[in-house]
Structure 1
Amino acid sequence: MIRVLFSIGQQRRLRRVLWALALVAGAGSAHAADIYISAEFKPDINDPDKREFTNTTPWSGVCNSVHLQSCINNNWWSIDTKIRGTKHGVHNANYGEDGFYIAMPPPRTVAVTSDDGGSTFELGVSIIGAAMRLTDEDRDGPLDPASTGRPRNCSMALTNGSAKNRSAMRMFIRNDGGQGVAACGLHWLHTNNYAITEFDLTYKLTTPAPLAMRSGVYRGTTTYRVGGSGEGADFNLGTGVELEDNIVNVHFELTVDHAFQLDLPPGSDRAVLAPKGGWSQWSDHGIAPKALEREMPFSLSSSGQFEVSLQCQHPLADGRCAILNVTETADDVPLDIHLTLPGFRDSATGAEVVGMPLTTTMLPPVLAADVFIIRRASRLHFSVNGEAVHSMLDHPGSHYRGGVTVIFDAAP
């Protein structure tokens, strides 16, 4: 008999910590604000059609208030940039840069790299809107300092138009979905000095296909400049603007935690080899079987890549495992082991995993599928073949035993 042990190996690896230093050249002092955006992919075997990242960024900015439910309903995700400053308004009824005005940049691509440095993917970032809060610094202006009418080039998403507290908060959502360059402006802003007490980004991420990514953490950074008219900033807040910070470093963290589950039937720790159809041909007619074998069924669920390797209690030089006669002195018998995982392929060769031989000397293959596979019927096939069978039959009544460990490493 053969003792077969299945185990799922979860290797722990040291991660390199990468320090990024952003140098910005320009006139005067340039301060930077840092904000963090995170998302995760953690598939559920009970919901295999879910194949998108989930935004895990804590709510901040105008959505993290009485407007939270509206933001959730519309899939708006605001994040406070921590940009603060002042704006001098001029009452020009022309939707122009003197008023409540925000010009926004086109989409961009950010490279996100795994913590081990082994994989890099592209993350799409689109600014689909922005929010700003202006508060009358001297408290001597009108209770409603800005137009409550429809903005130009954008839709009004959120507003405090009914607050009447000498402040104006507006969240604009761009009509172009963040695909180009857009300037959103109100019809007018009263002439006065206003504190910029909040400036938020509303963004959309186009994430990589998570099934192609290995489990791990992926990080990347992009930088936006915020300023006034004529400064060439990514975000233009119009004329009369002075800011405490004018650079926003946006740090992205994508976490991929693939699902992996191996379901083994009872008795899978022991395999007894026998001829197909039993021993009657040998015992009744003296016809030697061509092979002694056993097929071990199991089911496998996986949304990502994994490695398979082999360990033997009694390894042979050619990479196969051996079973030993524990009753009397006899030659060791080589054991052939083959793996079949329907729907999976070898990432290096593209070959389907059908009857793949397993040895201790092979480079452990990285196996993957193009879809999230759920409880797929799979099998391991153990056999002693050819002359090795005749060698065993020369020792009737003997028992042969050996241990085999098949390792499924879900974090290759």
Structure 2
Amino acid sequence: MIRQFLPIVLSRRVLRVLCLLAFAAVVGRAPAADIHITAEFKPDINDPNKREFVNTTPWSGVCLNHMALCISNNWWSIDTKVRGTKQGNRGSLHGPGSFHIGMPPPRQVEVVSEDGHAFIVDLKMIGAALRLRDVAQDGPNSHPASKGAAQGCAISLSNARTNNYSVMRMFNRNDGGDGYQVCTLHWIDSNDYWVEEFDFTYALTTPSPLQMRSGVYTGSTTYRVGGTGEGADFDLGDDVVLDDNSVTVHFSLTVQHAFQLDLPPGSDRAVLAPKGGWTQWSDHGIVPKALEREVPFTLSSSGQFSVSMQCQYPLPDGRCAIRNLTEAAPDAPLDITLTLPGFRDALSGADVVGKTLTTDMLPTVFTADAFVIRRPSQLRFAVTGEAVEEMLEHPGSHYRGDVTVIFDADP
């Protein structure tokens, strides 16, 4: 009887993600209109169907006073820090001379990781809000800027009351088209008003994080804010003077995938033997078709990973070998295959069933359409064909070889 021992070492490199959000401090008369939108994807093993980014942007703007309503409608507002003045026009019913906000069409913004992987984020402005205060009359006798029905939009968040200097919060829900959207109301006073706050509310469509590598993806886009005729993306109508007429939106999307490889005890050693044992050979002289062993394990992964292999005794054709440590004999080549149910080859799209591993191939990247949890998988090691007959010509020999299979969670 021949006993063969094949120690197998499986290892993985765990990706460590350091999330850095850069904020610029600007010294000057007015603060820079730079705002930051952040989102993250951290898969939950208890909720594998969760496949979307979570918005982690701090609350600011109109939603701070209407938190329950914003949360229930999945609205997210940001104060742009744009400040200035607007002159009222009592005779204007609607249009640029009235309480007026023109909205920009949707945009696509590229976000790029530190290692150069790029994806597209769709940014749609679905709302805007103005907080105005009468320059001449501050306090209980302050005049509101507008009242009555809006044109081109719906007022969803409003503090507009007579004698309330916090005159109105407007939310534009007319987001059905991709064109330039305008919301106007009747202007009822000819006074000057401070623009105390200008917010926008947005909808963000992110790429599928399951297709993104772990890391931090950053990008930015700039909007102009100004009056009619100034070519502004956010058009606030006539007679507008602003301290800062540009708003740069910075994106930071953090992807932190989960990866876990679980091996049962004793999986670092694979003893090759015929299926059903050695009886057919020892009792009847029937040469086994293969000496083999399957090494089971479970795999959990929410992102892409690669698999490669290293050998103690590499062969020219890329296979590993086991060597006769007892007497001089040819090395026996190993056929090593990998089966990962639920995963596929990221390049070819083929299911990972009996995938051949060799040392002369580039690390193969695997992916899945969902967060795969504790999926039973296997590595198969086998000596087949004529190599088995050659080994049996050296009874009592001890064949051995080390094989390292590397699972890299950051391919």
Report the TM-score, using the length of structure 1 for normalisation: 0.89
Partner of 1:38: 38
- Indicate yes or no: 2:14 matched with 1:10: yes
The residue type equivalent to 2:409 in the other structure is A
Distance in 2, Cα, partners of 1:11 & 1:400: 36
Distance in 2, Cα, partners of 1:190 & 1:14: 53
Distance in 2, Cα, partners of 1:99 & 1:331: 91
Distance in 2, Cα, partners of 1:292 & 1:216: 43
Superposition map of 1:219-230 within 5 A: 219-230=218-229
Of 273-282 and 284-293, more deviation after overlay is shown by 284-293
Distance in 2, Cα, partners of 1:359 & 1:8: 17
- Indicate yes or no: 2:53 matched with 1:50: no
Would you say the 8 A contact 2:144–2:164 is kept in 1?
Answer: no
Q: Deviations over 1:302-357 (max 9, x none)?
A: 23221110012332333222223334444332221111123322222333322111
Would you say the 8 A contact 1:153–1:174 is kept in 2?
Answer: no
Distance in 2, Cα, partners of 1:122 & 1:320: 41
CA RMSD of aligned residues (A): 2.8
**Which segments of 5 or more consecutive residues in structure 1 lack a partner in the other structure?**
19-29
Distance in 2, Cα, partners of 1:255 & 1:140: 44
Q: Deviations over 1:205-245 (max 9, x none)?
A: 11122222222222221111100122121111111210010
Distance in 2, Cα, partners of 1:260 & 1:217: 17
Partner of 1:133: 131
Distance in 1, Cα, partners of 2:281 & 2:379: 26
Change (3 A) 1:247 1:384: same
Distance in 2, Cα, partners of 1:279 & 1:370: 43
Change (3 A) 1:123 1:339: same
Distance in 1, Cα, partners of 2:237 & 2:97: 6
Partner of 1:366: 365
Distance in 1, Cα, partners of 2:302 & 2:34: 33
- Indicate yes or no: 2:193 matched with 1:194: yes
Superposition map of 1:12-411 within 5 A: 33-63=33-63, 65-92=64-91, 94-117=93-116, 119-139=117-137, 142-162=141-161, 164-177=163-176, 179-411=178-410
Alpha-carbon distance, 1:408 to partner: 1.0
Distance in 2, Cα, partners of 1:344 & 1:191: 67
**Which segments of 5 or more consecutive residues in structure 2 lack a partner in the other structure?**
23-29
Q: Secondary structure at the match of 1:149?
A: strand
Distance in 2, Cα, partners of 1:375 & 1:201: 43
Alpha-carbon distance, 1:55 to partner: 1.0
Distance in 2, Cα, partners of 1:92 & 1:122: 45
Distance in 1, Cα, partners of 2:74 & 2:334: 57
Report the TM-score, using the length of structure 2 for normalisation: 0.89
Would you say the 8 A contact 1:220–1:251 is kept in 2?
Answer: yes
Would you say the 8 A contact 2:300–2:373 is kept in 1?
Answer: yes
Alpha-carbon distance, 1:163 to partner: 8.7
Q: Deviations over 1:143-169 (max 9, x none)?
A: 341334342222222222359442323
Would you say the 8 A contact 1:127–1:178 is kept in 2?
Answer: no
Would you say the 8 A contact 1:174–1:182 is kept in 2?
Answer: no
Would you say the 8 A contact 2:144–2:162 is kept in 1?
Answer: no
Q: Deviations over 1:157-185 (max 9, x none)?
A: 22223594423231312223463321112
Q: Secondary structure at the match of 1:356?
A: strand
Would you say the 8 A contact 1:132–1:196 is kept in 2?
Answer: yes
Partner of 1:25: none
Q: Deviations over 1:353-396 (max 9, x none)?
A: 22111111111111122333333332111001123222322332
Alpha-carbon distance, 1:248 to partner: 0.8
Q: Secondary structure at the match of 2:391?
A: helix
Of 201-210 and 176-185, more deviation after overlay is shown by 176-185
Aligned sequence identity (%): 65
